[in-house]
Amino acid sequence: MLELNDKEMAEFQAIIYRISGMRINETKKVLLSSRILRRLRATGIATFGEYLKLVQSVAGRVELDAMIDAVTTNETFFFRHDNHFAWMETYLKDLSSQVMQGKRPKKLHIWSAACSTGEEPYSIAMMLLENRLILNGWELKIFATDICSTVLETARKGRYQGRTLEQIPLKKLKRYFKDSAEAGFLEVKPEVVEMVEFSKHNLMQVMIPPRQFDLVFLRNVLIYFDKDSKAKVLDRIGANMASDGYLVMGVAEDILGCSKGLRRIQPWLYQKEAG
């Protein structure tokens, strides 16, 4: 297999880091070579050098996006980290009692910020539907974003098969999925799909217009980022959180020293500090 030389590797690493915040280290050279090789084949370009010229040119903007798509890791599955969903159950009850005491409006805006193929926001939507009695009459929104266009296409279809479905409790599987016209696939029911708005967004960029999310899921993405990019992303996330908003991270994500303005509640749970 054609493999990147050290200079090409360094140039690709720099471009990927600048655009997405992801640090691809030297040990990933074979993997990166094979993913970029796919783009060479798709574009009919013969060498990594020529391909580098293309993605660095103005005319190569679209291909640069395709390259970022090709190098992202999109592993995800329904109800990943089930303790986060158990916490969400308690959180919803707590919000509902605050509403009953007149301490907050009937509003819950959630952001799945690196949603990959959609399993995370759809799991969140199912949690809201499970709690529909206490959320009756609420303004509920789930905004789901990713840098990668191809995963968003899959997410919008809501059609899945295999391992990603394994952790869905049987009751939810029966209630929120139906057989797909495509053999071997299950489809998320329209009532769930309709609750989620998917959009392309790069976490390194400012969100326009800014939002006030009550709850943000930012799970299993910052593991690919260095300290500088983590701080930048968390800054951008904080700017889009309501004053008492919560941030849910993956289970083993170290954001020590990058989480200005966020109070740690659990190793994976933070709350925006007042002021």
Ligand X SMILES: C[S@@+](CC[C@H](N)C(=O)[O-])C[C@H]1O[C@@H](n2cnc3c(N)ncnc32)[C@H](O)[C@@H]1O
Q: Which of 4, 16, 22, 216 forms a contact with ligand X (CB under 6 A)?
A: 22
Q: Which residue has the tokens 């509920």?
A: 140
The nearer residue to ligand X, 22 or 215, going by C-beta atoms, is 22
Q: Which of 110, 147, 192, 216 forms a contact with ligand X (CB under 6 A)?
A: 147
DSSP state string for 113-169: ET-TTTHHHHHHHHHHHHTTTTTTT-EEEEEEEES-HHHHHHHHHTEE-GGGGTTS-
Give yes or no for residue 80 binding ligand X (CB under 6 A): yes
CB of 147: closest distance to ligand X in angstroms? 4
Q: Which residue has the tokens 């291909």?
A: 63
What is the CB neighbour count within 10 angstroms for residue 132? 10
Q: Which residue has the tokens 């260095």?
A: 226
Residue 182 tokens read as: 């495509």
35 has catalytic annotation: yes
Give the contact letters, 236-255, x = binds to ligand X (CB under 6 A), - = no.
--------------x-----
CB of 141: closest distance to ligand X in angstroms? 18
Q: List C-alpha distances in Å: 151 to 34, 43, 143, 157.
A: 19, 20, 15, 10
Closest of 81, 165, 85 to residue 129, by C-alpha? 85
Binding-site residue total for ligand X (CB under 6 A)?
23
Give yes or no for residue 202 binding ligand X (CB under 6 A): yes
Judged by CB under 6 A, which stretch of 44-52, 142-150, 182-190, 251-259 contacts ligand X? 142-150
69 has catalytic annotation: no
Q: Phi/psi class of residue 120: alpha, beta or left (left: φ > 0; alpha: ψ in -120 to 50)?
A: alpha
Q: Which of 12, 21, 123, 188 forms a contact with ligand X (CB under 6 A)?
A: 21
Give yes or no for residue 20 binding ligand X (CB under 6 A): yes
Give yes or no for residue 118 binding ligand X (CB under 6 A): no
Q: List C-alpha distances in Å: 171 to 59, 90, 168, 252.
A: 50, 20, 8, 29
Give yes or no for residue 114 binding ligand X (CB under 6 A): yes
User: What is the rounded CA–CA span in Å between residue 190 and residue 207?
Assistant: 28
Q: Which of 108, 195, 221, 262 forms a contact with ligand X (CB under 6 A)?
A: 221
Q: List C-alpha distances in Å: 210 to 48, 145, 205, 238.
A: 38, 14, 11, 11
CB of 153: closest distance to ligand X in angstroms? 12
CB of 145: closest distance to ligand X in angstroms? 6
Catalytic residue among 39, 69, 80, 146: 146
CB of 7: closest distance to ligand X in angstroms? 24
Give yes or no for residue 164 binding ligand X (CB under 6 A): no
Q: Which of 204, 231, 242, 269 forms a contact with ligand X (CB under 6 A)?
A: 204
Give yes or no for residue 72 binding ligand X (CB under 6 A): yes
User: What is the rounded CA–CA span in Å between residue 268 and residue 84?
Assistant: 9
Catalytic residues: 35, 146
List interacting residues with ligand X (CB under 6 A).
Answer: 20-22, 72-76, 80, 114, 116, 120, 146-148, 151, 202-204, 219-221, 250
